[in-house]
Structure 1
Amino acid sequence: MVLLKYFVAELIFHFFIMMMIPFVNIILSRYKKEIKTRIIFLITILFSLLLSMSFPVRVAEGIAFDLKFIPIFIAFFYIGPLGGGLAIGALLGVNILGELKEFLLLLLNYLLIIPLFGSVYNYYQRTNPWRKLFIGVAFYILITGTRIIALVQSGQSDDFLYLFSFSLLSILTLAIIIYLIEMNKLQLAMLEQLQNADKLNAVSQLAASVAHEIRNPMTTIRGFLQIMKDETNLTSKQGMFISVSLDELDRTQKIIGDFLSLARPVNHFCEPIPLSQTLTDVAEFMHPFAVMSNVNLITNIEEKLIINGNINECKQLLINLIKNGIEAMPSGGNLELFAYKENGHVRISIIDEGIGIDPIQIKQLGQPYYSTKTKGTGLGLMICFDIIKRMNGDYQISSKEKEGTTFQMIFPL
C-alpha cells in the first residue's frame, strides 16, 4: 500500500511539471519569431516529458505511472506531427535503456496511437476549444482503460482508488492545459482584431481628411503633363520622364481611391445578387488584362447562384482578387475561377499558379501598409476582407511557395 501523503505529494509535483507547458506557451505567444518560439516550446515539452518519466507516481506496490501522454499530445496537436514524432522518439529513446518487454509494449502502444492522432489532426485544428477539450479527454480515458487492465492483472485491484485519483488529476491537468492554450489563442486573436480595427480607423480618418484635398491638385498636374506629352519638340528622354510621371500619378490616384473606399460610410443596402451572371461579367471584364499578362482565365461557374449583398461591392471584391491572382503570375499561367453550392452555402474559389505566399505572410494579409507586392499598400485586400465581412461571408487562404495560391470565399445562400 502506497502512503497517502507521498501519493498526494507526487500528484501535486506532476501537476506543476505539466503547468510549465501552458505557462511557457503564453510567454512565447507574445513573440513574433514563430520558428524560434516553436523550438523553445518543443524543448519545454520534452523537458516536462523527461521530468515526468524520471519521477513516476506510485499507485501500487511495483506499479507506477506518469503523465508522459500529456506532453506528447500537446506536441502533436500544437506544434505538429513532426513535434509529436520527436516527443515520441525521445520517449522511446529513454525507454530503450530499460527492459525490452516494456519497451516493445510502449512501442506498440504508440504505433496504435499515432494513426489515431493523425485521423483527428485536421479536425482538431479547425474545431472550437470545447471540442478540443473533448478530444483530449477522450484520448486520456482510453489510456486510463489500459492502466486499469494493468492494475487488475497485477492482482492489486485494492489500490484502484489511487489509480482513479491519478487518472482524474491527469484528465483535469490535460483539460486545463488545453483550455489555457486555447484561451490564450482567442485572446491574441481578439487583440489582433482590435489592433487592426484601430489601424483601419486611423486609415479612414486620414483618408477622410486629406484624400479629396490631394486628388484635386493631382488632377491638375496630370492634365498639364498630358498636354506636355503631346508636344512634338520633346526629346525621347523627356517623353519617357513624362510617361513615368503619369504612371506614378495614376498609381497614386488608385491609392487615394482605396483610401476613399475605406473612409466611405458603410452601405447596409442589401439585395439579391445574381452571382453566376456577376462572376461571368467580371471574368469577361478581366479577360483582356489576363491576355496581356499571358494568363489563361478558366471559369467553372454553377448556374443560378444567388447571394445577398451589394452588387457593386461584390464586383469590386471579385475584380480585386482576380487582378491579384493575375499579378501573382509574372511569367503567365492558368487562373481558375470556380463557384458552386455546398452545404447551404456558395463557395467561390480563385486559384492561381503564381509565386505563392509563405504562412507568416498569409497571417499578415489585409493589414494596412502590408503587401507582398513591391509597390502595394495592402489596402486592396483590406477592402476585400471588409466587403466579405459585410456580406456575412468567410474566407480561406491556402498557398505553397512557387506553386500558387487558392483564395476561397463562402457566402450563405
Structure 2
Amino acid sequence: MLHGIELILNQVLMVLFPIWTYHLLFQKKGSRQRFKPMLVLVLTISLLLTLTFSINYYDTFYFDLKMVPIIIAFLYGSNPCGLLIIGITVVYKIIFNDDPPLITVINFGIISGLLILVAKKFRTYSDFKKIFLISTLYGLITITRGILLVYTNHSQEIGIVFTFSFITWLTLLSAMFIFENMNKQMELELKVQRAEKFDVVGQLAASVAHEVRNPMTAVRGFLQLMSDDKNLTESQRRYIHISMEELDHSQVILSEYLSLAKPATTDLKILNLKADLENIIELMRSFTNLQTISIVSSLEDRLLIKGDSSEIKQVFVNLLKNSIEAIGEKGEIMVSAYQNGKYVIVEIEDNGQGMSETQLKYLGTPFYSTKDKGTGVGLSLCYKIVHSMKGTISVRSKQGKGTRFTIQFPSV
C-alpha cells in the first residue's frame, strides 16, 4: 500500500516540478508568443517522465499523468504547443507501449479536437468557470474509460481507474493554480509598472506644462498680431501660419499630458453606454465622409455602467480615430456592445494594417506610439480611464488583417 502511494506521489512530482521550474525561470520571457519553446520543452519532460515511470496494475493497464501536460499545453500554451505534445504522446505510446496505431491516433485526435474548442474561450472565463469546464471535460474522459472497461469485461477495475482519475484531476487543478497564480502576479507587476510610468508622466506634466503654455500663448498672440500687418509678403504670411499651426499642435500635446496628470474620476454616475456610443459613432462618421470607410454598429439596448460621460467619449473617440487612421482610405469598422454576465463588453474591430507582436507588447504605455506623428499619450489615457472605472482593455491584432479592441466594464 505504502509503495503504491509512493509511486503515485512520484508521478505527481514528475509533472508539477518541471512546471514550477518553468514559471520560476522562463515564464516572463516571450509570454505573448504564439509558440512557446520553453513551455513545450518543460511539458515534454513532464510527459516523458510520467510515461516512462508509469504505474502498472493488473499486468494490463498503466496509470500515468500524461493528460496533465497535454491539457496544460492547449490551455496555457497554444494549439501548436498542444498538437506537438499530442504528437509526442502518440509516437511514444506506439513505439514503447505497443498501442494499436489507428486507435491511438483516433483517441488522441478526438482529445485534440475537444481541447482546441475549449481553448478558444478558456482564457476569457473566470476562475470558477475554468475549473468547472476542465472538471467537466476530464469527467467525460473518465466516464468513457469506465464504459470501455465495462465493454472489454474489466468492470472489476473501474474503482481503481476512478481513483487514479481523481488523483489526475487534483494534479491538473494544481497545475492550473500554478499558471493562474503566476499569470495574476505578472498582470499585477504590469499594472504597477504602468502606474509608475503614469505617475512620472503626471509629475512631469504638472511641473512643466503650465510654465511652457504661458510663453507659447504669448508667442502665438504676437504672431497673430504680425499676421495682420499689410506689408507682409505671401511667403511671410505662410510661415506665420505654419508657426501658429505648430504652436496649436503643441498645445494639444500639452493638454494630453495634463490629462494624464489629472487624478482618476471618483464621481462616477450610472450611464447607459448605448446612448453614449451612438453619439460617438455619429460624430466619428463625419471623419470618414471623405474616405470610403464605413462604421457598422451592433448595440444592445440596456448597457448600464458606472462612469463619466466625457471620459467615455474621450476613450472611444480615441480608439475609433486610431482605427480610421489604421485603415487609411478604404475599409470597415465594426462596433459591437453587449451584456455578458456581470460585464458590459464593447468591441471595436477594423480591417486595417494591424500590429506586430512587439507593438502589441508595448501598446498603452506612455510615449509609445505606432504612428509616425503619434505621442503615445492618447492610448495611454484610454487605458488609465478604463482602469479607473474597474474595467479592462485587451487587444488582438494581426499584421495585414486588422485589430480588435475589447473593452470590458463592470455592469450595474
Scaled to the shorter chain, the TM-score interval is: 0.7 to 0.9
Deviations, residues 217-258 of structure 1 (Å, cap 9, x unaligned): 12223334455667765585x777655554443332222101
Q: Which amino acid aligns with 1:15?
A: V
Q: What is the CA distance between 1:28 and its match in structure 2?
A: 1.4
- For residue 13 of structure 2, the aligned residue among 8, 13, 16 is 16
2:90–2:108: 8 Å Cα contact kept in structure 1? no
Distance 2:137 2:337 in 1: 39
- Structure-2 residue corresponding to 1:46: 44
2:14–2:50: 8 Å Cα contact kept in structure 1? yes
Cα separation, partners in 2 of 1:33 and 1:223, compared to 1, 3 Å: farther
Distance 1:341 1:74 in 2: 30
Q: What is the CA distance between 1:179 and its match in structure 2?
A: 0.8
Match of 2:100, SS state, is helix
- For residue 318 of structure 2, the aligned residue among 317, 320, 323 is 320
Alignment of 1:61-140 (within 5 A): 61-97=59-95, 102-140=100-138
Match of 2:319, SS state, is helix
1:229–1:239: 8 Å Cα contact kept in structure 2? yes
Q: What is the CA distance between 1:387 and its match in structure 2?
A: 2.8
Distance 1:99 1:192 in 2: 46
Cα separation, partners in 2 of 1:339 and 1:227, compared to 1, 3 Å: farther
Q: Which amino acid aligns with 2:173?
A: A
Deviations, residues 13-65 of structure 1 (Å, cap 9, x unaligned): 32222121232134212224644981111122122212222222122334322
Q: What is the CA distance between 1:182 and its match in structure 2?
A: 0.8
Alignment RMSD: 3.6
Deviations, residues 154-178 of structure 1 (Å, cap 9, x unaligned): 76948955x5664443232222111
* Structure 2 gap segments, 5+ residues each: none
Distance 1:358 1:28 in 2: 22
Larger displacement relative to structure 2 (39-48 or 301-310):
301-310
Larger displacement relative to structure 2 (179-188 or 13-22):
13-22
- Structure-1 residue corresponding to 2:249: 251
Distance 2:253 2:195 in 1: 19
Distance 2:232 2:297 in 1: 48
- Taking only the aligned residue pairs, the percentage that are identical comes to 33
1:395–1:407: 8 Å Cα contact kept in structure 2? yes
Cα separation, partners in 2 of 1:295 and 1:224, compared to 1, 3 Å: farther
Deviations, residues 179-219 of structure 1 (Å, cap 9, x unaligned): 11111011111111122122222222222221111111122
Q: What is the CA distance between 1:337 and its match in structure 2?
A: 4.4
- Number of residue equivalences: 408
Q: What is the CA distance between 1:87 and its match in structure 2?
A: 1.2
TM-score normalized by the length of structure 1:
0.82
Distance 2:281 2:97 in 1: 68
Distance 2:143 2:303 in 1: 51
- Structure-1 residue corresponding to 2:369: 371
Larger displacement relative to structure 2 (206-215 or 31-40):
31-40
Deviations, residues 286-331 of structure 1 (Å, cap 9, x unaligned): 4443335554445566778776533322332232222222222233
Q: Which amino acid aligns with 1:311?
A: S
Distance 1:175 1:33 in 2: 21
TM-score normalized by the length of structure 2:
0.82
Cα separation, partners in 2 of 1:103 and 1:10, compared to 1, 3 Å: farther
- For residue 213 of structure 1, the aligned residue among 211, 214, 220 is 211
Distance 2:350 2:148 in 1: 55
